[in-house]
Structure formats: C-alpha cells, structure tokens
Amino acid sequence: MWTVAEFVRVETDPDNPAVAVIRLDRPKMNALNAQVQVEIAEAAVRVGTDDTIASVVVYGGERVFAAGADIKEMADLDYARMAEHSRVLQDCFTAVAKVPKPVIAAVTGYALGGGCELALCADFRVAADNAVLGQPEIQLGVIPGAGGTQRLPRLIGPSRAKDLIYTGRHVGAEEALAIGLVDAVVPAGEVYAAAVAMAARYVGGPAVALRAAKQAIDAGLETDLTTGLEIERLQFSALFATEDQKTGMRSFVEQGPGKAEFSGK
C-alpha cells in the first residue's frame, strides 16, 4: 500500500507490511496547515478501513514530528472564520484518535502545539531522547484548539496539564516520560524502529477484539463507571460471535495460552 498526497503519505513498513505508516512530509517543520490536516484525516480513514493493516505508526521523519499549526495561515482569521476552521481541525485530528486499531506516534524533534495534540491522538507515544513536547498556545494569546485541553488532562491529569497549558512551557523527553506524556524514550536514531516494533506486536492478533478493547476504553473514559461497565459488557459479549473467540478459547483448552492463530474475523 502506498497512498500519496502532497504532504502526507501512507505506506507500509518494508519489514512489517501489516504496519501502516502515516508519514508527514511538509518542509521544513511539518507545520499543520489546513491542507495537511485534511490529508491526515484522509490517511486515517484509509488505514482504518484497510483490513490488511493491523496497526499504525504516525511519523514526521527523522528531524521533527510536527512543530505545530501554521500560524501565518491563522493569524488574520476572525471569530467567524476560526469557528468554522476549528471544527475541521478537531475533526481531522479526531479521525486519527478513532482509527480502530493500535496507533503509535513516533515523536522526533519537536511536537509542539498541534504537533503535540496530534501525538495525543495516538494510543502510545515513543519519543526520541532529544524530543521536545508542549502546548505553547498561551504564548500566542490563545489556548490549544485541536484537543489539547481535553486529551492532555485525560492522559497526564488535570494539574500537570494545566501547568503545561497555562505556562506554555516545553518539556524534554525524560520529563515527558515521567509525567506520562510519552510511553517510551529511545535514542533519536531508533524512534521509527521502536515505534514499528511496538506496532508489530499487534500483527496477527485478534483484530475485532483489539478494536473492541479500544472502543470500550475510549468510550468508557467519557462517561461514568456504571455506563462504562455496560459498554464493556456489550463489547465483551459481542466478541462471542467472532471466529477469533472460538479459535482463541479452543486453542487455550487444547494447547495452552499464547498459541492461537487468529484470522481477524
């Protein structure tokens, strides 16, 4: 699979063809202008609906993940135009969050503003040891507008999120790891390989169950415990209509754990 737009392309890792890579490539710093946002959403739909893809890596290249939104494009917008544009912006990023497969952000260099918000849409984040992350929008007289005020506190807690959003300060990789903003820190030259290796864990897994787990967790975080448990119960029960449930349980009984070969159905 190889789908090319002007600034975002979808490819598969050469050694792991079931791992799709959404590759940002807008010189010099992957600024997320309106066109890039739309192309990201299109790429997310592409990988999300392709049954040959088990998991996804979002990658900005060796130098930078994404330095943020295109400020020059936004600086002169008025309220009416930004009210319309901001909905498109959020919808494009949400498309990544709703990919029904494991998604890993491979964070190199800067992931600031919209770049950080894009990384927050992934299930996991692998960062270079020299990566810099943050939500500096307050320094421009605004607040994060692509999910930062919502996804960041859900990930690292409200107090830490308020610290980053109120001050606009940047955090290095080690602090990001300590506060739970990223899940792993590796040498800068190993970020892509580490992210692909993480994504490859899910190749050959029970795709329907993985999708159900993601949907149950994400939907449950948006509601109360009682409703969340009901979401879990319904997803759990529904999996008993799948081939993978029959395969997995039969294999466990006959061969022990961890030996099932799933069809993804």
Query: Contact, 65 vs 119, CB < 8 A?
Result: yes
Q: How far apart are CA 260 and CA 244, in angstroms?
A: 9
Intrachain domains 2-200 and 207-255 with the same fold: no
Query: Is the pLDDT confidence value at 63 over 90?
Result: yes
For 64, 84, 86, 113, 144, the CA distances from 80, given in Å and listed in that order, are: 32, 7, 10, 22, 18
- Hey, which residues are catalytic here? 117, 137
Tally Cβ neighbours within 10 Å of residue 76: 7
Alpha carbon 204 to chain centroid, angstroms: 20
Q: What is Dmax (Cα atoms) for the chain?
A: 66
Note the pLDDT of residue 1: 66
Domain ranges of the chain: 2-200, 207-255
pLDDT tens digits, 178-191: 999 999 999 999 99
For range 97-113, the mean pLDDT: 97
For 2-200, CATH gives 3.90.226.10
pLDDT tens digits, 21-52: 999 999 989 989 999 999 999 999 999 999 99
Note the pLDDT of residue 10: 96
Note the pLDDT of residue 72: 82
Write down the pTM of the prediction: 0.94
CATH class of 207-255: mainly alpha
Query: Contact, 65 vs 105, CB < 8 A?
Result: yes
Query: Is the pLDDT confidence value at 83 over 90?
Result: no
